[in-house]
Amino acid sequence: MQSRFRSDRRLTTRMGVTLFLLGLLYVGFVAALIVVLKSWVLVVVVAAGLLGAQYWFSDRVALFAMRGRVVERDEYPELHSVIDRLCAMADMPKPVVAVSAMDMPNAFATGRNPDHAVVCVTTGLLRRLDPAELEGVLAHELSHVAHKDVAVITVASFLGVIAGLIVRFAFYSQLFSEGRRDQNTAAIFAVVMGVSAAVYAISFLLIRALSRYRELAADRAAALLTGRPSALASALTKVSGDIARIPTKDLRTAQAFNAFYFTPALGSEPGVARLFSTHPSLEQRLDQLGRISAELGEAAAPGGV
């Protein structure tokens, strides 16, 4: 079913290109492991099993990692009401609603398709935003579900995760087994580690490029659906500023899921990390929302639509 969120052909094209390139990379990666490890059955079965688990259980993994829990209407009636209204406006299925008991103000969407999606907000976000700002953030997250880019990011991130795990496994295997392996085995591990590191680096860059664009697309779709880009801009400014004041040690667990968040869990001095961020800069996002506000003539009608 097609939702009323504004379609974005450039986003669709970027998702297709990213999946195609990652697919080629994935096939090459599996082929290299088969040649090196000389066991295609093991490699294919393990890779397919992990990919399936990533696709089918990504929502549960994300909720568990972020201490989120599904909430019913009687617990959070206002949150459910906003999501109900937005889903009716967008003509899309209502996702499962969850809340994470974290002070970090943020939200994320996950799931394999619009019929099996979860939108989760933190208690820190609910406490800080007014109703119009919350509506803008939730519209942003619902647009990820409607555009299906959340599923693409979930699948795309799989290859980097597996490559990273293999690098760690090879490293620690060599570290704790040094002196007990022959030269051939050591060479095999070196090749596997090198291939995995290269695959991780390439997938990392491809995912970052897609992720930054999809956030701009979600901001744009949310602003056009609600008709209040200034409310979304206010939420962005407020959330980004508050996250910057949260101690870095409290953000470390959350940073593994930055690609899914409304705003990245970065400290006050992200440094080089900003160059590899999953999100465009706050300035870019606010500039885009400012242009949309001017196009909609929001200044002439402060209440929006």
Do the Cβ atoms of 4 and 210 come closer than 8 Å? no
Give the burial string for 106-136 (b: 16+ CB within 10 Å, else e): bbbbbbbebeebbbbbbebbeebbeebbbbb
Ligand-binding annotation for 215, yes or no, is: yes
Cα separation, 166 vs 196, in Å, equals 7
Do the Cβ atoms of 235 and 304 come closer than 8 Å? no
Ligand-binding annotation for 144, yes or no, is: yes
Cα separation, 66 vs 261, in Å, equals 11
Which residue has tokens 């400012």? 290
Among 75, 78, 133, 141, the active-site one is: 141
141 is catalytic: yes
Report the relative pairing of strands 96-100 and 107-113 from DSSP bridges.
Answer: unpaired
- Decide: helix, strand or coil at residue 99: strand
Cα separation, 136 vs 154, in Å, equals 23
Hey, what amino acid is at 167? Answer: V
Give just the sign of the alpha carbon dihedral 211, 96, 251, 166: negative
Ligand-binding annotation for 116, yes or no, is: no
Q: In the structure encoding, which two tokens stand for residue 151, read together? A: 């599923």
Q: Which residues are annotated as a binding site for Zn(2+)?
A: 140, 144, 215
Active-site positions? Answer: 141
Q: Which residues are annotated as a binding site?
A: 140, 144, 215
